[in-house]
Amino acid sequence: MSIFVTGGFHKQREASYACIIWCARKLLGKRLASRCRIDVEMSQLFTEQGAAGFCGWEDKNNSPRHFKIELEQRMDADTFLQALCHEMVHVKQFARNELQERYNNPMGHRIMWKGMVVKEDIVDYNDLPWEQEAYALEGLLYEEMLYDGVCVDYNWKFNHGMRKNFMPDLG
Ligand SMILES: [Zn+2]
């Protein structure tokens, strides 16, 4: 697995590597994880795009192996790492074709969830099945990661309390 992290500060990048390695092993398994490349870009994403995080594939829509995660950097360690766990759930969904973007059909761009078309423009963000799964798993992953002794020593703080106001991400 290759991981490239840019932006943020040193501890944030260090924690991101550890968190991604743990999540990838957990969510993808060792073999699939070893074939993936994950790029993380930290920035003041919320100010720029009104979202705390994004996750997308970079190589191909079918069984992608190269992913890009964008993350707001102004978050406390615990919220930041939970947001990263959330984005890693989306990596798993894309890598396993549970969440798939399709282009080559008469309907134009379509989003499929486990083989079913989801009309993203009319379904509420909170009702999108890939978001429901990501929100259901992010806290559990985070807790289990700490239980495994990964990222336990990171505890930086920001004063913004920003994430609650975020419209988080597009997949
Ligand atoms: Zn999401």
In the CATH scheme, what architecture does the domain 2-96+125-165 have? 3-Layer(aba) Sandwich (3.40)
pLDDT in tens, 73-95: 999 999 999 999 999 999 999 99
- Model pTM? 0.91
69 alpha carbon – ligand 1 mean position (Å): 11
Span from the CA of 93 to the centroid of ligand 1 (angstroms): 11
Question: 150-167 in b/e burial notation, b at 16+ Cβ within 10 A?
Answer: bbeebeeeeeeebbeebe
Every domain of the chain and the residues it spans: 2-96+125-165
Ligand 1 geometric centre to CA of 10 (Å)? 25
pLDDT digits (tens, 9 = 90+) for 89-140: 999 999 999 999 988 767 678 899 999 999 888 999 889 999 999 999 999 9
